[in-house]
Structure 1
Amino acid sequence: MRVHISFLTAATVAVCSFSSFANQNSDTEIQDMSDPLAVYTQAGAGTSDKGLNIKVGRTYDTGNPDTMAMNIIEVKGIAGEYLGWSGTGSRDNSIDSVRFRNFSVDTTNGRGSQLDLNYNVEQESLNASYSFIQALPKWGNLNLYPLAGLGVNVRNGDFPSCIDANSDCQTEPRDNGYTVPGTYAVVGAYTKYAVTDKLWLNYNPMWLTTLSGSKSYVDNAYGVGMSSIFTNEFAVSYQFTPRFNVRYFANWTQEQSYFEGDQRVEFNYQF
């Protein structure tokens, strides 16, 4: 059973420092694209081992001068059979997933919140979560952003049943329509280390665990016999101009080596 974990990442959310929040008073100002709490209108595209990814994000007026917000839509895994390079044999030319996020930040205290809807097209499964992110005071060249949230899984049909840890999960018929197999929690952090003004590194560890639901979901949500999982994300980013950057990402779990995980390159532009 293959599990793909995707969250709010520096790649897809655009990024700024806690000290810069006070300067984010207009949509026309250029925001710091290296901070996970930056809010700005954007577009991005890139290639991954599963195919092409595209992203569009737009800010909107919250009606509160102390908050900023944006909506982001992403489509992933386009034309994977022709343009991806994964050797798993699972690539095809259909879309892999669609993701919608609503993200807001309180500029008075550096606290962000996010509604994240991630729909896996092939599994017909939706992970919907709500989380909070808090910017901590900068420590030298290092920024830390702890995160905590709750989520729910919705899918077409019941969650695949597993006999034991040595067996494969069996997919249930989808005659039951959409069901809610269970709920989960996520705890982690986003980290940013500024090498120079134009080059920065991110490491974003996340721990997920099931909370409630069907026995099959609670015991096997992240693989056979796995009720929890630890995920890793590493990124290297370079800022060509204040509005344009390129980013390399690697995502892997405790069950994978670095190069067994997902790899991608992404270009982002701020309007």
Structure 2
Amino acid sequence: MNKCFLPGIVLVISLSATAQESEVADMSDPLAIYTQGGVGFSDKGINLKLGKAYDTGDPSTAAQYVIEAKGLLGDWAGWRSDNRTTQSLDSVRFRNFNVTLPTMQASQIDVNYSFRANAVADESADISYSFIKALPPTGAFTFYPLAGVGASIGKDRQRSGGQIDDGYGFMGVYGLIGMYSLMTITDKIWLNYNPFWLTTIGGNSYYKDNYYGIDESHLLTHELALSYQISPRMNVRLFANWNENIDLTDGDHRIEFNYQF
């Protein structure tokens, strides 16, 4: 089974804003910091999201954490075949962002736990730390390159020779490089394209050779999102996620509504 995910994707936090929750942040900015709630309907079920801006104690920085639950009630609300959906959660995700406002640099902790089996474990968690840099806008485009490193933990891990290690354990480490990009179409419509390349760099041999699918030690992923700002505090977004082994039509799709408090 090949993964179709993007670490740290859908950054809904505002660099143009301060950490003050009374201000309305620019929801099109991939590095914006604000308190928010969201609900999405995907091909694998219902997604729920809660983001909270908090005070770092340093006026030159802003921070936020985001908690997401994905794929709930997939057999009822999703539109994939039964072998790709369940009624229980598909995955949960926790992200923490810290933005240095004068330099437009950010750091991110991203924890993604999947309840779905892959080629190396029955369940797995990816924990990464990465840096993001916002480049000066060029016309309608703004680019945010990212680089990071992460560790993978698995439950009932597969090893060479068909052996299974029961329980939870460390599997290996991986690296990632990529970019968030923003194209402003109008003051209410924008487009994001976010490519990421992931590769295993250490750990047991079965993990290194198969983490992104059988005989797949690396993976190029893609995300495309079209967004419309309904009001200064609310938007609707259409997402598509796919990778080099899963084409666009077979990838993950969802519609998401976000409200800024």
Q: From 183, 194, 198, give the equivalent of 2:184.
A: 194
Counterpart of 1:220 (choices 210, 213, 216) is 210
Task: State the match for 2:154 in structure 1.
Answer: 155
User: Which residue pairs with 1:167 in the alignment?
Assistant: none
Question: Contact 1:248/1:265 (CA < 8 Å) preserved in 2?
Answer: yes
The 2-side partners of 1:43 and 1:238 are apart by 16
Closer/same/farther in 2, CA of residues 15 and 62 from structure 1, 3 Å limit: closer
1:242 to partner: Cα distance:
0.9
Counterpart of 1:14? Answer: 12
State the percentage of identical aligned residues.
46
1:192-251 per-position Cα deviation (integer Å, ceiling 9, x unaligned): 000000000010000000110000011111011111010000010000111000000000
Can you give the 5+ residue segments of structure 1 that lack an aligned partner in the other structure? 164-169
The residue number in structure 1 matching 2:75 is 81
Q: Secondary structure at the match of 1:27?
A: coil
- Kindly state the Cα deviation for residue 30 of structure 1 after the two structures are TM-superposed: 0.5
**TM-score normalised per structure 2:** 0.94
Q: What secondary structure, in the 3-state scheme, does the structure 1 residue paired with 2:137 have? A: coil
1:41 corresponds to: 35
Partner of 1:119: 113
Task: Verify the 8 A CA contact 1:185 1:209 in the aligned structure 2.
Answer: yes
In 1, distance between residues paired with 2:67 and 2:182? 24
Partner residue in 2 for 1:233:
223
**Aligned mates of 1:111, 1:145 — CA distance in 2:** 9
Question: Does the 8 Å contact 1:15/1:34 carry over to 2?
Answer: no
* Counterpart residue number, 1:70: 64
Aligned-partner SS, 1:223? coil
Structure 1 residues 211, 140: CA separation in 2 closer, same or farther (over 3 Å shift)? Answer: same
What's the TM-score, normalizing by structure 1? Answer: 0.90
Indicate the SS of the match to 1:157.
strand
Alpha-carbon distance, 1:268 to partner: 0.2
- Within the candidate set 57, 60, 67, 2:54 is matched to 60
What residue identity is the alignment partner of 1:14? V
Q: Deviations over 1:130-160 (max 9, x none)?
A: 01110000000100000000000011232x2
Would the alpha carbon gap of residues 162 and 47 (structure 1) be closer, same or farther in structure 2, given more than 3 Å must change?
Answer: farther
When the two chains are superposed, the root-mean-square deviation of aligned CA atoms in Å is 1.5
Question: Shift in Å at residue 124 of structure 1?
Answer: 2.3
Q: Is contact 2:6–2:221 with CA below 8 Å preserved after alignment? A: no
Could you tell me how far 1:85 is from its partner in structure 2? Answer: 0.4
CA distance in 1, matches of 2:249, 2:107: 31
1:166 match: none
Structure 2 partner of 1:32 = 26
Can you list the C-alpha shifts for 1:95-124, whole angstroms capped at 9, x where unaligned? 111111111100010001110110112332
* Higher strand content, 1 or 2: 2
CA contact (8 A) 2:4 2:221 kept: no
Which aligned segments of 4 or more residues in structure 1 are displaced greater than 4 angstroms?
none
2: distance between equivalents of 1:25 and 1:269? 16
Question: Is the alpha carbon distance of 1:88 and 1:253 closer, same or farther for their aligned partners in structure 2, counting shifts above 3 Å?
Answer: farther
CA distance in 1, matches of 2:91, 2:179: 24
Q: Are residue 258 (structure 1) and residue 248 (structure 2) matched?
A: yes
What residue is the counterpart of 2:142 in the other structure? 143
Report the residue type matching 2:57 in the other structure: G
SS in 2 for 1:197: coil
Secondary structure of the structure 1 residue equivalent to 2:24: coil
Give the gaps of 5 or more residues in structure 2.
117-121
**Contact 1:250–1:258 (CA under 8 A) maintained in structure 2:** yes
Query: 3-state DSSP class of the match of 1:124?
Result: strand
Does structure 2 retain, via aligned residues, the 8 Å contact 1:238–1:247?
yes
